[in-house]
Chain A
Amino acid sequence: MTNRLSFAAAAAAALIMASDMAPAFAETPPNMLVIANRIDDIKTFDPAESFEFAGADVSRNVYEKLVNFDPLDLDAGYQPQLAESWDISEDGKTVTFTMAEGHVFSTGNPVTAKDAEFSLRRAVLLNKTPSFILTQFGFTPENVEETIVATDDKTLVLTLDKPYAVSFVLNCLTATIGGIVDMKAAMENEVDGDMGNEWLRTNTAGSGPYKVVDWKPSESVLMDLNPNYHGDAPAMERVIVQHIQESATQRLQLERGDIDVARNLSPEDVAGLDGVDGVKVVDELRGRLMYWAANQKNEMLSDPKVLEALKWAVDYDGMSGSFLKGQYTVHQAFLPLTFLGALEDKPYSFDMEKAKAALAESNHPDCGPIKISVREAQERLDISQSLQNTWGQLGCEVELIVGTGAQTLDRYRAREHDIYMGAWGPDYPDPNTNAATFAQNPDNADEAGNTGYLAWRNAWDIPEMSEKTLAAVVENDTEARAQMYRDIQAEHQQTSPFGVMFQQIEQNGMRSNVENFVAGGATTAVSYWVITK
């Protein structure tokens, strides 16, 4: 009996002790924003290298750019930020920026054109993954000293290899890689000629509203106000982003008031928050697309009528109304809605009669075996299983080849798939980001190794469409440029081996008192400085 009592006493003591130590109630302070998010993809904060979603969220709040988006008016497009104005030369190849006054880095150093020159040059010289966003304008490590030049502290001159649409150039400068870093701070921490790359991986030196004061990988990011910030002082003086993997855990924290925003809620948890006091869910259209793509090396899948049949035999509404409910909306063009030139037309619906008729007209009326290469992510598996079902109704023998992300990607880049079930997000907020990969293939030969082009990965040889896509990036009339993209997409919908199906909706759960939370739409990342509570 004594022993039994001692167990009970020990257990009770532990719980009582814990309950005594747990906060009786939870509410974050009015000047602090606490966010639960999956941030284990952050590898670096260096804008010349950062290319992950969670990293972009930090970068947008830490680094200013020559031009940037206003979070409360994303539709307005790029606006002046560190550059107060810009001029284009008559030949369209030179862009001259005039720097704005009064911007100061968190280190206390003023922002000058020399910092902008340094930042853009180092992005090219370091040659990290996102460098293509700048090098596509002809900047190379060999020519940056002539093509990216600060003529004085207030003037930056960019010389392009040919005339491009100015909207294309400026949109690219709003990407993470366009972040302007403090040259002095970076060079003081240079190691082996890395231009501060190693130091900037874990430290920040920007002129944005916040600075990173602590980062524990896969654990948390802590940002405090940049005391030298040029703009209005943000209401949130401290932002803490905690890595919380589980949706159910995020929901519990949100309901308890321990966090202000939960960014990775599953549809079930979003539904569970319905009617919960003090909590709201805000939907926002993002840029990620879900698509399938057919390898044109496969004879059957290169038959236009087979492709047409497969596009009709997709249960778009069924999927978006069930397991994708609230997370994806039906969208069938390669530019996400809200992008310049986005096409809203949805020519395909789930129509088995039309699908069977198209297949009957093809050279493969009995269909044949199709292997869908898909990574082990739940939503992609669910979509693939739906395709397996509906394409199976067409008479196709569909097999799912499930692998890790890296395995399926390896197969895709090696052009060894039949159908690839994939997702694609824009790299920078200009229509060319998707057009240049879905609708351009500079050389279809295997040895060309153009793995960056989705058209190449699917062995889709499109010299004419590639020309049209290239023409769109040099069109300076913005409306004409938008129409060019709409035309390309309409043709792409009919002829391409891509079946674009859905565009992502991000559902963020937050406390009712959180206002102005903008995740970034389809074009950019989250902006903490406009948030109030």
Chain B
Amino acid sequence: MAQSQTHGEGRQTLSLPPWFKRLLATLATVAATILGLLFVTFMIGRVMPIDPVLAVIGERATQAQYDETFRELGLDKPLMVQFGIYVGDVLLGDFGKSIRTGQEVATDIGRVFPATLELATLGTLIGVILGVPLGVIAAVRRGSWIDQVARFVGLIGYSMPIFWLGLVGLLVFYGILGWVSGPGRVGIFYQGIVEPITGMLLVDSALRGEWAVFRNAFSHIILPASLLGYYSMAYISRMTRSFMLEQLGSEYVTTARVKGLSEWQVVWGHAFRNIRIQLVTVIALAYANLLEGSVLTEIIFAWPGIGSYITTSLLANDMNSVLGGTIVIGVIFVGINIFSDILYRFFDPRAK
């Protein structure tokens, strides 16, 4: 990436600083990844044996209306030209219009993504707060009842369909006990009170000082977030336990114990410090997974997130929406990877 400039009195090479080179390389990778992702998704959308025109006009339309819409959608142009036009529009911030909602895709995503971000963030927080300590304790007390419980919880989390667990959760905590509110992001009496800032209702209601809305929104989100948190916890605790077992069997841990360090220092001060990088990867993966949108959870809890948005759009052959959503998901994955990379450098000086 170095640039050379020739001056009249000789050659002088201007080297860019290493951090800038890394930044450029990262940006190039991101651009290539997103472009590749777009290309594959675009082509899949176009070669699928589904007629996008019918998705727009419905089955009752006349041939003349069909032909007109065919031209309007630009489907009369060669595939690569269509792709080029699409990428050009995206670069200008125009993701096109959703044929399913009739609105700009960017507007739709701006509405559904914050809902998913809010839910996934809270779910991941619950997963981390409960999963990491549970995994550590299960490893320290290997074979004890708490280890058995941790493994059982993990097993349930891996084997129980989220759809079923969500319905049971709704039935028990909403239907029978009435501890939490029902589906949706907020109760009908609280809708439209808070002017959006971030689109995340908990954050916005707190920023606006609308605490009644905050409490109601929290009572709506806690159940789906706990459900997602449970699945994250199952994954995170299992991986944490596995990482910790490996560390606790190491010679340096034995040495630390021989030196007379307390068990707390051995476990948290030494063994746990050494699994932080692996944990960052696991947590980042879990978070990214939830940010993609948990379609079934969103359907059960009537949560208007990006997962159900993309899925419904795909089934309706609304390719502009699918592509727009794909870009968002792609950017999220890349973003989380970059963030993990930064955390690696922070936790492990060798990575610098």
Contact = CB atoms under 8 A, between A and B. Distances in A.
Pair from one complex: yes
Given A42-B101, A217-B101, A246-B299, 20 more contacts: A15-B179, A19-B177, A19-B178, A22-B179, A22-B219, A23-B187, A40-B100, A127-B64, A129-B58, A132-B60, A201-B102, A220-B191, A240-B188, A246-B302, A249-B183, A253-B182, A256-B178, A409-B51, A409-B59, A410-B51
B60 A449 contact: no
A379 B222 CA distance: 34
Contacts of A138: none
Given A218-B312, A245-B302, A256-B174, A452 B61 contact: yes
A17 interface: yes
Interface in A242-258: 242-246, 248-249, 252-253, 255-256, 258
Given A202-B102, A253-B182, A14 B226 contact: yes
Interface stretch (A2-10, A116-124, A351-359, A502-510): A2-10
A451 interface: yes
A435 to B, nearest CB: 15
Contacts of B218: 17-18, 21
A256 B175 contact: yes
A25 B187 CA distance: 13
A455 to B, nearest CB: 14
Nearest to A214: B192
A406 B181 CA distance: 37
A129 B55 CA distance: 12
Contacts of B184: 220, 242, 244
A388 interface: no
Contacts of A214: 191-192
Given A22-B178, A43-B99, A256-B182, A243 B54 contact: no
Interface in B97-150: 98-103, 108, 111, 126, 129-130, 133-134, 137, 146
6 contacts: A20-B215, A23-B181, A201-B102, A214-B192, A243-B304, A249-B167
Contacts of A76: none
Contacts of A15: 173, 179, 222
Contact of A129 (B57, B63, B101, B309): B57
B110 to A, nearest CB: 12
A216 B304 contact: yes
Report the 10 A-B pairs with minimum CB-CB distance, sorted nearest first.
Answer: A217-B101, A19-B179, A21-B219, A406-B50, A21-B215, A18-B222, A22-B219, A43-B102, A219-B304, A252-B175
In this complex, which of A34, A217, A253 has the most chain B Cβ atoms within 10 angstroms of its Cβ? A217
A74 B209 CA distance: 50
A406 B175 contact: no
Contacts of A34: 188
B206 interface: no
B317 interface: yes
A378 B51 CA distance: 22
A407 B188 contact: no
Nearest to A14: B222
B29 interface: no
In this complex, which of A10, A216, A218, A258 has the most chain B Cβ atoms within 10 angstroms of its Cβ? A218
Interface string B190-211: 0110000000000000000000
Nearest to B179: A19
A404 interface: yes
Interface residues of B, number: 66
In this complex, which of A7, A11, A43 has the most chain B Cβ atoms within 10 angstroms of its Cβ? A43
Nearest to B51: A410
A355 B36 CA distance: 57
Given A23-B181, A252-B182, A406-B54, A217 B63 contact: no
Contacts of A44: 102
A261 to B, nearest CB: 13
B315 A404 contact: yes
B262 interface: no
B49 A413 contact: no
B62 interface: yes
A505 B59 CA distance: 23
A18 B180 contact: yes
A19 B317 CA distance: 41
Interface string A23-34: 111001000101
A157 B294 CA distance: 55
Contacts of A406: 50-51, 54-55, 317
Contacts of B81: none
Interface in A125-148: 127-132
B223 interface: yes
Interface residues of A, number: 64
A189 to B, nearest CB: 15
Contacts of A449: 63
B170 interface: yes
B65 interface: yes
A410 B215 contact: no
B300 interface: yes
A7 B309 contact: no
B180 A19 contact: yes
B134 A7 contact: yes
B289 interface: no
A413 B59 contact: yes
Contact of A407 (B50, B64, B66, B192): B50
A410 B50 contact: yes
A188 to B, nearest CB: 20
Contact of A43 (B68, B101, B133): B101
Contact of A4 (B54, B146, B315): B146
Contacts of A19: 177-180, 219
A57 interface: no
A51 interface: yes
Nearest to A130: B60
Interface string B293-318: 00000011110100011001001010
In this complex, which of A51, A240, A249 has the most chain B Cβ atoms within 10 angstroms of its Cβ? A249
B223 to A, nearest CB: 7
A450 to B, nearest CB: 8
B216 interface: yes
Contacts of B173: 15
A10 B130 contact: yes
A403 B59 CA distance: 16
B171 interface: yes
Contact of A258 (B129, B167, B182, B222): B182
Interface in A206-248: 214, 216-220, 222, 240, 242-246, 248
A131 B171 CA distance: 46
B133 A249 contact: no
A25 B177 CA distance: 11
Contact of B49 (A17, A51, A222, A407): A407
A427 interface: yes
Contact of A51 (B60, B130, B146): B60
Interface string A416-446: 0000000000010000000000000000000
Nearest to A28: B188
Contacts of B180: 18-19, 22
A220 B226 CA distance: 24
A246 B222 contact: no
B222 A10 contact: no
A155 B175 CA distance: 56
Nearest to A248: B167
Given A17-B218, A252-B175, A406-B50, A244 B183 contact: yes
In this complex, which of A24, A130, A246 has the most chain B Cβ atoms within 10 angstroms of its Cβ? A246
B188 A43 contact: no
A129 B61 contact: yes
B130 A11 contact: yes
A449 B61 CA distance: 12
